[in-house]
Amino acid sequence: MQPPPATLARPSRLAGAPPGRRRRDQRLAGLLDAAAALFVEKGIAATSIEDIAERAGVAKGTFYHYFQDRAAMLEALRRRYSQRFADLVDAAMDACPRNDWDGRLAAWVEATVGEYLATYRLHDAIFHDPVVCERCVISEETFVVSLAALLQKAAAAGSWAIADPLTTAAFMFHGMHGLLDETIATNADTDVIKERIAGLFRQIVRPMPG
Query: So what's the pLDDT on residue 11?
Result: 44
Instruction: Provide the whole-model pTM.
Output: 0.79
In a domain, 147, yes or no: yes
CA 105 to chain CA centroid, Å, is 17
Residue 35 included in any domain: no
Task: Please give the single-letter amino acid code of residue 108.
Answer: W
CA-to-CA separations, 46 to 40, 68, 69, 140, in angstroms, rounded: 11, 18, 15, 30
Alpha helices, DSSP H only, in 95-164? 101-127, 142-156
Q: What's the confidence (pLDDT) of residue 14?
A: 44
- Looking at residue 143, its pLDDT comes to 87
Return left, alpha or beta for 57; rule: phi > 0 is left, psi -120 to 50 is alpha, else beta. Answer: left
Give the per-residue pLDDT at 48. Answer: 93
Residue 15 lies in a domain: no
Is 42 part of any domain?
no
pLDDT, residue 173, reads 93
d(CA 178, CA 182): 6
Over the chain (210 residues), the average pLDDT of each successive run of 10 is 46 48 84 95 92 94 93 92 91 95 95 93 86 67 91 93 93 93 92 92 82
Q: For residue 128, what pLDDT is reported?
A: 82
- What pLDDT shows up at residue 7? 43
116 assigned to some structural domain? yes
Contact 8, 40 (CB under 8 A): yes
Domain for residue 34, yes or no? no
Range of the domain at 191: 75-204
Dihedral-angle region of residue 158 (phi above 0 means left; psi in -120 to 50 means alpha; beta otherwise):
left
CB within 8 Å of 79: residues ≥ 6 apart: none
Per-residue pLDDT tens digits for 130-139: 665 556 677 8
In a domain, 54, yes or no: no
Distance, CA of 9 to CA of 24 (rounded, Å): 20
pLDDT at position 23 is: 78
- For position 182, what pLDDT does the model report? 92
Domain count, the chain: 1
pLDDT for residue 138: 79
pLDDT of residue 13: 44
The CATH number given to whatever domain includes residue 113 is 1.10.357.10
Give the bridge partners for 134, in sequence order: none
Q: What is the pLDDT, as a whole number, of residue 6?
A: 47
80 assigned to some structural domain: yes
Residue range 97-143, pLDDT digits in tens: 999 999 999 999 999 999 999 999 999 999 887 665 556 677 888 88
Cβ contacts of 137 within 8 Å, gap of 6 or more: none
